[in-house]
Amino acid sequence: MAVLEGLFILGAVGAVLYVVIRALESRPGHPAVTAGRWRVAHYDVDGHTRVVVHKVRPGSAQVLDEHVIAEIPVNDPEYDELFMTAMATARQRKAIFETEE
């Protein structure tokens, strides 16, 4: 009798797990960011230059997504080298993002 009860409990637990997993799989995930094109940009914020890759809506300047590549203090003695390196990295990242879409 104990074996039958054990099998019944095991079956019930399995059924509950199955239902939970199926429910989680059918839930919609995060919506993808809408179509756009990637561009490299930089701007100053509180004494730092922020190098970014933006995803913008075609035909407008509306930013759909932003990835920060680097923040460089404007008074850094190696600013030029750091800025050029960050811009090169941003261009590489842009190329990667474009190939993923």
Q: Give the DSSP H/E element, type plus range, for residue 63.
A: strand 63-73
Residue 33 confidence (pLDDT): 55
Query: Is the whole-model pTM more than 0.85?
Result: no
4: pLDDT strictly greater than 90: no
3-state secondary structure 5-53: HHHHHHHHHHHHHHHHHHHHHHCCCCCCCCCCEEEEEEEEECCEEEEEE
Phi, psi (deg, nearest 5) at residue 9: -65, -45
For residue 69, the tally of other CB atoms under 10 A from its CB is: 22
Coil/strand/helix, residue 70: strand
Residues 65-91: tens digit of each pLDDT:
999 999 999 999 999 999 999 999 999
Residue 1 confidence (pLDDT): 72
Coil/strand/helix, residue 85: helix
Residue 78 confidence (pLDDT): 96
Residues 16-56: tens digit of each pLDDT:
777 777 777 765 554 555 678 999 999 999 999 999 999 99
